[in-house]
Structure 1
């Protein structure tokens, strides 16, 4: 390949490599020549090649892996939440709320009124802003200084927060295992994910400290119902994390409190009262439905100003019709009672399924959220294959992993709250049978190896 790369300057070498990519000579995952070897081949200073590679890395074309060399970025798609539309199997890995528990907006739509909103007017509906100020400030230490921004959902908010604070190859601390949308956003943005382990109390202190030591410029944390584990920050853990962050006040801390109104856990924040760059995001998608693409972001004034600027070249603002509809729903006592009932339903159904799995010999604890994070005594992928033969489609834990976390390969993330009692018992029995089948196959293979 050295002979196909040409150029005497960094720009020329970078252009040559781009041309090889466009022609298909270089493909995703391919290794590039070592800096020294390419410099000798082209007869240029090695710093020239370093500069060319840096240009391509900043453009998100290549990535340096230290001793692993420099490779063309592999843009393999990240798994996404939702139904597997091309499957005939019963999907228990969707991560979706129950459509029957999403409030019907018809009455609110019929009662909505107001004059059209024109260019140049305030981008936040005044009534929604007034309501959201109370919703967002409860339990938030720096609430007195917060500013509000409306975005098209939580993922939109995170992407724009990254864009206003980071450049390509900046390090970002993400929970591990991690929410799929966060993995997707970081990869597409060309940022460098740094894995922070999660335990039953949420993001770990040692993990956050290690990530900060690696120079992360942003931290994304889920304070409640962490996806996929269901963990929520305890008061003690949140305080310990704030202590660690006290020495890093300008690292952007993003809290994605996605489950908010549906959570059975108290909100504990890792954003301290004196932290300088922060954002708390709460979307309405879990309790008003994924198609209600709206999230409220509370942040420090500077972050809010930058976030608003990131909206101006794109969506400009979230539709005021959608904002008014959201306000109409969240201020309706009947809708709020339905949301509270939905919260109880999710918690009860998950707890009931955890009990059934435990009764089948698979000890499982229900935490918070729409899903269950089920520990298995064998490889989850092998169990999922067995479940497919029994008519079920499940998500394995390795889809959510950032770093080398072997335990996730023995996890299933299940969405079971919409199953009736008969299907619940059938799935629990089928998971137990699948585990026995995998164990039996492993034992047979092991016995065969001994005999040979």
Structure 2
């Protein structure tokens, strides 16, 4: 491939590589020649070749892997949450909240009228700011807290990473990982470093190894981790804080997406002396995905930088939306409904996990909207069998940064199934495991 790359200047060399990619001569994952080889072939200074690769990296066209070389970036689409388009199968892969458990905003909308907000006014509705400060500060160890409102948690995480990182910077992500986080890191051109997750959350050895690799940011889900349902124990949170104590300037982002619905206590990995941090809480799981609003609490410098990232685009989140969110989260009836919804998700998941266990597919319900089901055979084989039985599920490898341990997992969203449908799905999962060559483990039987 060296012979096809041409140019004498960095810009011309970069343009030549881009042309090869556009023509299909270079494909995602293909390696580019080492800088020295390319420079020797073209008869240019090594620094010229370095500058060309730097331009391509900054544009997200290629990625560098240290001693692994430089490769054409993979721009294939990442799986997304939500209903599958045009599927005739019963979709239990959505990750959606139950629409029947989302509060009706009609009454709150009727009382929202107020004067219009103009350019230059405070970006946060005063009433929402008072409520949010109490909501966020109660769970944080740092005392100097600034608030920012963004258009949802994904918007907040994307802007937080963008204000702190440049392309090819390393980011520690949980493995298996929330689909939106994988997408955000890939589109941003950052380098994901997987940190394994177990029943107590992000692992200590995994975080330590990621920090040793030079990650500049860590994205952690303190509770109801998606897809596993794991929540940090107090012991694990304390151990992770201890590891981070020697890295106070690494940006730590906590995505507490399940917040008011969670059945687990909030435990933070952000210590009192950590210098770069953010806690993000969205309202989408309990007020509905269409309520694109999240509150971010952070240190002052991160807040200032986040505000700068907001300025070129959406300067503020609609104050009408802010007032609606405030009206709902301060309505005792709505708050009680949110608590009931959290209990409903937990109960339905626990019942379904028990059904699977009784049928020989041992499973436990974590926190959150979904079940993370271990299998004795590859999940892809089981998902194909379930498609033949009329079900659409998510295989665990969609959430994986590394091949294991997700290849033998299914993520199921079952909380809105009727009892009859839940019984049928559980029986079909067991039958699919058998058809894929797996052995069922029924209590009391060999």
TM-score tier by shorter-chain length is over 0.9
1:403 Cα deviation after fit: 1.8
Aligned position for 2:342: 343
Secondary structure of 2:215 counterpart: coil
How far apart, in 2, do the equivalents of 1:151 and 1:418 lie? 29
Residue from 417, 420, 426 that aligns with 1:419: 417
1:24 Cα deviation after fit: 4.3
Secondary structure of 1:49 counterpart: helix
Alignment of 1:297-446 (within 5 A): 297-405=296-404, 407-439=405-437
1:67 Cα deviation after fit: 5.3
Q: C-alpha offsets along residues 375-398 of structure 1, whole Å, 9 cap, x if unaligned?
A: 011111000000000000000100
How far apart, in 2, do the equivalents of 1:404 and 1:28 lie? 19
How far apart, in 2, do the equivalents of 1:169 and 1:66 lie? 10
1:52 Cα deviation after fit: 1.5
How far apart, in 2, do the equivalents of 1:28 and 1:299 lie? 37
1:69 Cα deviation after fit: 3.8
How far apart, in 2, do the equivalents of 1:333 and 1:196 lie? 39
Deviates more, 1:268-277 or 1:60-69: 60-69
Aligned position for 1:89: 89
Aligned position for 2:166: 167
Deviates more, 1:28-37 or 1:146-155: 28-37
Asked if residue 114 in structure 1 is aligned to residue 137 in structure 2, the reply is: no
Aligned position for 1:127: 127
Q: C-alpha offsets along residues 68-97 of structure 1, whole Å, 9 cap, x if unaligned?
A: 442211200000000002100000110000
Change (3 A) 1:377 1:25: closer
1:412 Cα deviation after fit: 0.2
1:163 Cα deviation after fit: 0.7
Is this contact kept in 1: 2:262–2:342, CA < 8 A? yes
User: How many residues end up aligned between the 2 structures?
Assistant: 439
Deviates more, 1:225-234 or 1:50-59: 50-59
Aligned position for 1:103: 103
Deviates more, 1:26-35 or 1:409-418: 26-35
Alignment of 1:132-143 (within 5 A): 132-142=132-142
How far apart, in 2, do the equivalents of 1:60 and 1:73 lie? 7
How far apart, in 1, do the equivalents of 2:352 and 2:246 lie? 43
Q: C-alpha offsets along residues 21-45 of structure 1, whole Å, 9 cap, x if unaligned?
A: 3444434333323333322321223
1:344 Cα deviation after fit: 0.6
Is this contact kept in 1: 2:58–2:167, CA < 8 A? yes
Aligned position for 1:16: 16
How far apart, in 1, do the equivalents of 2:32 and 2:157 lie? 32
1:309 Cα deviation after fit: 1.1
Aligned position for 1:37: 37
Q: C-alpha offsets along residues 194-232 of structure 1, whole Å, 9 cap, x if unaligned?
A: 000000000000000111111110000000000000000
How far apart, in 2, do the equivalents of 1:147 and 1:437 lie? 55
How far apart, in 1, do the equivalents of 2:367 and 2:29 lie? 38
1:18 Cα deviation after fit: 2.5
Alignment of 1:106-255 (within 5 A): 106-142=106-142, 144-255=143-254
Change (3 A) 1:266 1:14: same
1:193 Cα deviation after fit: 0.5
Q: C-alpha offsets along residues 165-218 of structure 1, whole Å, 9 cap, x if unaligned?
A: 000111000000000000000000000100000000000000001111111100
Alignment of 1:224-303 (within 5 A): 224-303=223-302
1:66 Cα deviation after fit: 4.5
How far apart, in 2, do the equivalents of 1:208 and 1:21 lie? 35
Secondary structure of 2:272 counterpart: coil
1:343 Cα deviation after fit: 0.6
How far apart, in 1, do the equivalents of 2:60 and 2:25 lie? 18
Is this contact kept in 1: 2:61–2:73, CA < 8 A? yes
How far apart, in 1, do the equivalents of 2:18 and 2:185 lie? 23
How far apart, in 2, do the equivalents of 1:55 and 1:100 lie? 50
Change (3 A) 1:20 1:87: same
How far apart, in 2, do the equivalents of 1:328 and 1:416 lie? 30
Secondary structure of 2:4 counterpart: coil
Aligned position for 2:2: 2
Deviates more, 1:328-337 or 1:52-61: 52-61
Aligned position for 1:71: 71
How far apart, in 1, do the equivalents of 2:391 and 2:24 lie? 39
Secondary structure of 1:347 counterpart: helix
Report the TM-score when normalising by structure 1.
0.95
Is this contact kept in 1: 2:397–2:403, CA < 8 A? no
Report the TM-score when normalising by structure 2.
0.96
